[in-house]
Amino acid sequence: MGLAPENAEEPDVKPEVRTPDRRERRIHKLEQENAALRAEVAGLRERLRRVEHVETHMVETGRWVSSLPFLGETGE
């Protein structure tokens, strides 16, 4: 009889506890995805910088640049 009010309050408390955990997991997941995408963008920007450098060289000299392993090419 005196236990009824305590039990009635527990279901209200549990969803509040679960929601922040779920929210925090979601935030953490999104932060990880964001970091991975930022790293990918940085890598792509560096590769673009290198390609632009080669393009400038080709335009200025009229020469083809042979296989460029630093651009991810294998020479095949």
CA distances 72 to 45, 67, 76, Å, are 14, 9, 11
Contacts of 66 (CB under 8 A, 6+ apart): 75
Indicate if the pLDDT at residue 71 is higher than 70. no
Instruction: Name the one residue in this structure whose structure tokens are 């009824």.
Output: 4
Range list of H helices, the chain: 4-61
Tens of pLDDT, residue by residue over 9-66, are 555 555 555 568 999 999 999 999 999 999 999 999 999 999 999 889 888 888 876 6
Query: If we measure between CA atoms, which residue out of 74, 39, 70, 75 comes closest to residue 54?
Result: 70
